[in-house]
Amino acid sequence: MLIDLLFTPMCIGCKSLGSHLCLGCRSAIQIASFDLRSPTLEVVSAGQYEGWLRDSVVRYKSGARSDVYGLSQIVDLMLPRASRIVPAPTSPEKVRDRGFDTIGQLSRQVVRRRRDVTVVPVLRLTRTVRDQVGLTADERRANLTGAIRSIRPVQGDFVVLDDVVTTGSTVQECARALKKAGADRVFVISLCASRNRGYL
């Protein structure tokens, strides 16, 4: 009985047992899109950075690796067929502090669910950047300008995957790097977006 309890999936939203994302919480997700400017970039997100969605993202980034199963199901809901995912790069310092690459692991879990999806981990940070938390939009932009590059040329369309879009500076730099490397079209999928995006 104890083993059954330890390994029974728990919903990342309501904590009910039986699945990593229950039908009720799945139905409550409000997928929507908005455009970032300079350059224009479409972002598809599962909701605002609040409630159980925010709590799950924070838990996951704080080390609750099991939340990746439910979060990957949320990404699955937004991801077109035959997508090529490019994980937003994480600094080596954050990977070391957390013990794992959160976006990289999320991307790999999505691929385990979807055989038509591939991960193309080509983006890297070229220099040390400040933690974005607490920075203004202008500071975030300056912090990341020119800090992301592709390690090889690419062709075709790509989906940048990130956990939270706040000002959009990170994903815009990812898109610029991919376009510079040869990508045709780039759009973004994020688990959630800040309330000031005003898209819901």
- How much is the pLDDT for 1? 38
pLDDT at residue 198 greater than cutoff 70:
no
The span from the CA of 183 to the CA of 174, in Å, is 11
**pLDDT tens profile 120-138:** 999 998 865 656 555 555 5
Query: Which whole number is the average pLDDT over 19-45?
Result: 92
**pLDDT tens profile 153-167:** 999 999 999 999 988
**pLDDT tens profile 89-116:** 988 888 888 899 999 999 999 999 999 9
Which domains, and CATH codes, for the chain? 20-197 (3.40.50)
